[in-house]
Amino acid sequence: MNDVPEIDIGQLLVAGGDHSRLAAAIDEACREWGFFYLVGHGVDPDLQVRLDELAREFFARPEDEKAAIAMARAGHAWRGWFPLGGELTSGHPDEKEGMYFGAELSADHPRVMSGTPLHGANLFPDDPADLRPIVIAYMETMTHVGQLVLCGIALALGLEASWFADNLTGEPLTLFRIFRYPPLSHRSTGQWSVGEHTDYGLLTILAQDGSGGLQVETPNGWTDVQPRSGALVCNLGDMLERLTGGRYRSTPHRVRNIGGGDRLSFPFFLDPSWDAVVSKLPIVGRPVELDAARRWDHTSVHGFEGTYGEYILTKVSRVFPELASGTLSTN
Q: What is the mean pLDDT of the chain?
A: 90
Domain assignment present for residue 256? The answer is yes
Domain assignment present for residue 1? The answer is no
What is the pTM assigned to this prediction?
A: 0.93
**Residue 331: what residue type?**
N
Cα–Cα distance, 205 to 228 (Å, whole number):
14
- Mind listing the pLDDT tens digit for each residue in 180-231? 999 986 554 557 899 999 999 999 999 999 999 999 998 889 999 999 999 9
Domain assignment present for residue 198? The answer is yes
Cα–Cα distance, 227 to 205 (Å, whole number):
13
Q: What is the CATH number of the domain that holds 232?
A: 2.60.120.330
Q: How many domains does the chain have?
A: 1
- Mind listing the pLDDT tens digit for each residue in 227-276? 999 999 999 999 999 999 889 989 999 999 988 899 999 999 999 999 99
Domain assignment present for residue 83? The answer is yes
On whether the CB atoms of residues 270 and 235 are closer than 8 A, the answer is: no
Domain assignment present for residue 155? The answer is yes
Cα–Cα distance, 147 to 161 (Å, whole number):
10
Domain assignment present for residue 214? The answer is yes
> Percent helix, strand, coil in the chain (nearest 5)?
35, 20, 45
On whether the CB atoms of residues 45 and 51 are closer than 8 A, the answer is: no
Domain assignment present for residue 215? The answer is yes
- pLDDT of the residue at 260: 83
Q: What is the mean pLDDT of residues 79-95?
A: 89
- pLDDT of the residue at 131: 98
The domain in which residue 25 lies consists of: 6-327
On whether the CB atoms of residues 12 and 148 are closer than 8 A, the answer is: yes
Domain assignment present for residue 199? The answer is yes
